[in-house]
Structure 1
Amino acid sequence: MGGQPPFALAGVAIIVVVSAIGLFASIGRYGFFGDELYFVSAGRRLAFGYADQGSALPAIARAMDMIAPGSLVAQRIPAVLLTLVALVISAQITRELGGSRTAQILVALAYAGSPFLLAQGIQLATNTIDTALWVLITWLVVRWVRTRQDVLLLLAGVVTAVDMQVKWLIPFFWIAVAIGALVFGPRDLLRRPALWAGGAIVVVTMIPTLVWQANRDWPQLRLSSAVAAEQASIGGRPMWVVTALICAGLMGGILLIYGIWLLLRWEVLRPYRFLGSVPLLLAVVFLATNGRGYYAAGVYAVIMAAGALGWTRKSSRIRIAITAVLVLASLVSTVTSLPLRPESDIAPARDDADAALNMTTYAKFGWRELAESVAEAYRSLPAEQRADAVIVADSYWQASALDVYGVENGLPAVYSPNRGFGYFGTPPDSATTVLWVGGSVDDVRPLFGAVTPIGRADAELGYPGVTRDVTIWRCDVPKTPWTLAWPGMLRM
């Protein structure tokens, strides 16, 4: 299908360097996000499977915690590096499609101007790693279309196998690709042995995880229902398209819409037309399942690349001016989304809605204070009761914070029935005294013979219901042995 245009090395390198400065200046700000604490806790219990994710992030968190114990910066470095790699690959995808240096730079700027695609790189999160791997997979697929080198499909299978250890979303991408290829071509993509060999690698590497899930009644599927319920509570399906476009950024959103149109209509991109249907099919799936608005963000790079080809094919002063304004506005939105403000300038959340809207900020505060408050309540117990006491936290974030900061505060074993933490272990039946952190008295009282509030965790900042105004209950005489009660208490 012809050669490639020269790579815009200098322009992309400048964008990467500036982006790296912004990300590295941000990753040490504030504290651990709730999920990051959970990954550290999960990493201390490495397994073939987890209730709510694969093994990749716990393994990353464990490795970084061993290299630099307790380091916030170390935990986030892998996310930063993968995000920067994805930015470079977005320009490479543009080049594969035949985009000029100008088009490549425009896509790199659009990627850097997305508050989601770039700014998410300051945090170790499943969506951060998942999005970057989707970008890599789409590059391999696009390059295969141009070169027909089947080893690229095999490599795409290997990357897919890795991604399945992060999230279980990538199969939807491949299903959408298969449908697009059947409708628009190239149909021989689906006949390539290398593609199916890559699929076999995915299946084989997933066997331990699937066995783990099957033995525990498929908690991953229950998580999908929990996510759908959460999405319904914050606007549901009507907000999905809005969120999806916000994730692309201003310039990126325009290139995204334009790119879908061009892929489906422009003859120059005819070999890649099947990719134009992918975001539309993913939108249908994630709207139907009430998924999160950023679930399809990994495919944005290739669609924006197609949009950039059309956007840069004609040059005029008006178009250049419009592009400059859009890019500048996008970059400003990314900068303002980074946690660059001093902690002292951040006001407490006004209410639950404010906290939920700014959760990525507020959920980084109050965890140490929570552990210190629980430790104070624990020390107030008589010595003979402390010997057999355990802690049960209402949420997996609370449990993870108490687990990570528990040793330095002298806390006993921590448990939680929430999300994946519920599968880390069951409180021993000998634990007749429990410090229950969070939740309401109506939730706790039916489980015990006596329930008494003995402390509160009133962090200055925090996410309501998670780290702020948390009641610490002393619970005595469990009505049912833990080994019998715990399976029925687990919730996603």
Structure 2
Amino acid sequence: MNLNKSPWPFICLLAIIKFALPFFLQHPVYELHRDEFLYLEQGHHLAWGYMEVPPMLSWLSYLTHLFGGSFFWVKFWPSLFGAFTLIVTCYMVVEMGGKSFAVFVAGLCILFTAYLRLHFLFQANFLEVFWWAVSAYFIIRYINSKQVKFLYWIGFAFGCAWLSKNSVSFFILGFAVGLLLTQYRSLLLNKHLYGAGLLAFVVALPNLLWQYNHNWPLLHHMKELRETQLQFLSPVDFLTGQIFMYFTAFFIWVIGLLWLFTTAGKQYRILAWIYLTVIVLLVISSGKNYYSMGLYPMLFAAGSVALQQWTTVKLKWLRWAAVAVILFLAGFTLPMAMPLWEPDKLAAYYNERDVEGTGMLKWEDQHNHSLPQDFADYLGWKEITEKTERFYESLPQKEKDSTIIYCRHYGLAGALKYYGKDEQFKLKVISDNGSFLHWIPNDIAFKHLLFVGRRMPDADDEVFQHFQKATIIDSVTYKHSRQLGDKVIFFENADSLASKLAAEGLNQMKQEFSRKKL
């Protein structure tokens, strides 16, 4: 790699644009995303694992709270790691022989595809994509240099990837298949490969021990996903998603995949086998289409190099034609990638353009709605928090002291804790959904209960049958919100059994995720 003319200044400029751009593309009416509230709360309860994700995101959440917890700091981390991902992708280009043009194209691919939205969401996915990209980068570095140290860097990246999201196991399996199917199979007899594997294990060990001590919540979480969401997904939807998520530049990753099977890209072919293996595994396991997002930085890098190599002097115009296509499609798809306008205007735009036909408006309930599910998940949280807190503050102090605020799911609980103004109010908020279950005191006691959820609890929800009275106080009225219709219900005057039944039920639920008796 010739670095006499360092690409760093150009890459740095692209990274700055990558970091800043999403802040200008999201309309201020949109709030935080449902999942972001959960991950932010994890920062108040640091551990080596959680029901949903490993610990790395919680470390960033802790820093977010340390810096004040504002919207900017929540979005700072995905934007920063998005910039880092762009840098790693561009350096993959350089390692594979790409020049400034190829670096530019790869940068555009990270700027104007599905990563635009991903890198403005405080979710574990942005860490997953980054560490997969770093793993691919070190694989390329090893191929180019044959230096053993890069095997250990691969192992370190795998370990960090596990601490960000457990799905790296798919990438590791792809790496193993890639070794078997390429000239690098001799590494299977190299002690340093296993030393790198040991390093990955050591880095991941704290979370593995946490998983063991909590009866493997990862398996429970995957089972729940299969029963509630993944069963509705089809291989066709997954595979078409691999085109639509990167619609503005899908031809670049396709070119990259093809190039890896040519003579020119042969030495990097292991990347193609990693990609194909992971895609097959995700199809078999009914994965969501975004589970594969960590694979595409390396294919965009390969495709950018291929485009540069395949466009000779006579075909040089094709380079700029490709850039023009990416930028044109980016402008066309931008309202689908980011919530540019307020909800009514955005919904009207989708209706005029018949976006429903693309499947982008289909939610997990398999019905089409006015906005994409992610965008609808940005709305209604302040409304439900204000209505809940207003009623709570209206209670006499004696009633406040004996009231808990129970939320049906983690999004509601997290939103009330994030947007709530009164500290006493926020301390009263609990939920038995996801990791919030572990943060409920074992000795819970109450006389009154504020319920926040979609509908009145059913008759088999035994604790709620032990109150004298239930009154619907208010509900979410924001028509585009996924929380539309979520209610605030006040349950008054519990009998002596209510707290006991609640404590027993909660302890039984916690016991399922603990090897120790409570």
After TM superposition, the score normalised by the length of structure 2 is 0.84
Query: What per-residue deviation string (whole Å, max 9, x for no partner) do you get for residues 6-34 of structure 1?
Result: 65456544433433341342478432212
What pairs up with 1:223-302 in 2 under 5 angstroms?
223-232=221-230, 235-251=233-249, 253-264=250-261, 266-302=262-298
Question: Once the 2 structures are TM-superposed, how far is the Cα of residue 293 of structure 1 from its aligned partner?
Answer: 0.8
Q: Aligned with 1:282: secondary structure?
A: helix
In the alignment, the residues of structure 1 paired with residue 190 and residue 479 of structure 2 have an alpha-carbon distance, to the nearest angstrom, of: 55
Structure 1 residue runs of 5 or longer lacking an equivalent are none
Q: Is 2:362 the partner of 1:366?
A: no
Question: Once the 2 structures are TM-superposed, how far is the Cα of residue 453 of structure 1 from its aligned partner?
Answer: 3.0
- Given the alignment, which residue of 389, 393, 396 partners 1:375? 389
In the alignment, the residues of structure 2 paired with residue 260 and residue 314 of structure 1 have an alpha-carbon distance, to the nearest angstrom, of: 17
Question: Once the 2 structures are TM-superposed, how far is the Cα of residue 441 of structure 1 from its aligned partner?
Answer: 2.6
Q: Is 2:78 the partner of 1:79?
A: yes
In the alignment, the residues of structure 2 paired with residue 192 and residue 334 of structure 1 have an alpha-carbon distance, to the nearest angstrom, of: 47
What pairs up with 1:387-398 in 2 under 5 angstroms?
387-398=401-412
Residue 14 (structure 2) aligns with: 15
- Give the stretch that moved more between structures: 307-316 or 179-188: 307-316
Q: Is the 8 A contact 1:180 1:275 kept in 2?
A: yes
In the alignment, the residues of structure 1 paired with residue 217 and residue 57 of structure 2 have an alpha-carbon distance, to the nearest angstrom, of: 18
In the alignment, the residues of structure 1 paired with residue 448 and residue 69 of structure 2 have an alpha-carbon distance, to the nearest angstrom, of: 30
- Given the alignment, which residue of 135, 138, 141 partners 2:136? 138
Q: Is the 8 A contact 1:364 1:462 kept in 2?
A: no
- Give the stretch that moved more between structures: 12-21 or 28-37: 12-21
Residue 458 (structure 1) aligns with: 476
Question: Once the 2 structures are TM-superposed, how far is the Cα of residue 432 of structure 1 from its aligned partner?
Answer: 3.9
In the alignment, the residues of structure 1 paired with residue 207 and residue 420 of structure 2 have an alpha-carbon distance, to the nearest angstrom, of: 29
In the alignment, the residues of structure 2 paired with residue 112 and residue 333 of structure 1 have an alpha-carbon distance, to the nearest angstrom, of: 14
Question: Once the 2 structures are TM-superposed, how far is the Cα of residue 399 of structure 1 from its aligned partner?
Answer: 0.8
Q: Is 2:137 the partner of 1:123?
A: no
Residue 208 (structure 2) aligns with: 210
Q: Is 2:491 the partner of 1:474?
A: yes
Q: Is the 8 A contact 1:454 1:472 kept in 2?
A: yes
Aligned pair in 2 of structure 1 residues 173, 287: CA closer, same or farther (>3 Å)? same
- Given the alignment, which residue of 175, 178, 190 partners 1:177? 175
Residue 446 (structure 1) aligns with: 462
Q: Is 2:341 the partner of 1:341?
A: yes
Question: Once the 2 structures are TM-superposed, how far is the Cα of residue 5 of structure 1 from its aligned partner?
Answer: 9.2
Query: What per-residue deviation string (whole Å, max 9, x for no partner) do you get for residues 197-233 of structure 1?
Result: 3332332333332333223322221211233344446
Residue 302 (structure 2) aligns with: 306
Aligned pair in 2 of structure 1 residues 49, 10: CA closer, same or farther (>3 Å)? closer
Aligned pair in 2 of structure 1 residues 473, 213: CA closer, same or farther (>3 Å)? farther
Residue identity matched to 1:16: A
CA RMSD across the alignment:
3.1
Aligned pair in 2 of structure 1 residues 317, 93: CA closer, same or farther (>3 Å)? closer
In the alignment, the residues of structure 1 paired with residue 409 and residue 369 of structure 2 have an alpha-carbon distance, to the nearest angstrom, of: 17
Q: Aligned with 2:402: secondary structure?
A: coil
Residue 332 (structure 1) aligns with: 331
Query: What per-residue deviation string (whole Å, max 9, x for no partner) do you get for residues 274-327 of structure 1?
Result: 211111111111122222211121121212222233322224266346413421
Residue 358 (structure 2) aligns with: none
Q: Is the 8 A contact 2:158 2:172 kept in 1?
A: no
Structure 2 residue runs of 5 or longer lacking an equivalent are 352-360, 514-518
Q: Is 2:459 the partner of 1:422?
A: no
In the alignment, the residues of structure 1 paired with residue 119 and residue 279 of structure 2 have an alpha-carbon distance, to the nearest angstrom, of: 23
Aligned pair in 2 of structure 1 residues 234, 341: CA closer, same or farther (>3 Å)? farther
Residues matched between the structures, number: 486
Aligned pair in 2 of structure 1 residues 229, 355: CA closer, same or farther (>3 Å)? farther
In the alignment, the residues of structure 1 paired with residue 333 and residue 439 of structure 2 have an alpha-carbon distance, to the nearest angstrom, of: 37
Residue identity matched to 2:458: D
Share of identical aligned residues, percent? 20
In the alignment, the residues of structure 2 paired with residue 170 and residue 356 of structure 1 have an alpha-carbon distance, to the nearest angstrom, of: 34
Q: Aligned with 1:223: secondary structure?
A: helix
Question: Once the 2 structures are TM-superposed, how far is the Cα of residue 438 of structure 1 from its aligned partner?
Answer: 0.4
Q: Aligned with 1:392: secondary structure?
A: strand
- Give the stretch that moved more between structures: 396-405 or 198-207: 198-207
Q: Is the 8 A contact 1:144 1:150 kept in 2?
A: yes
Residue identity matched to 2:505: A
Question: Once the 2 structures are TM-superposed, how far is the Cα of residue 173 of structure 1 from its aligned partner?
Answer: 0.6
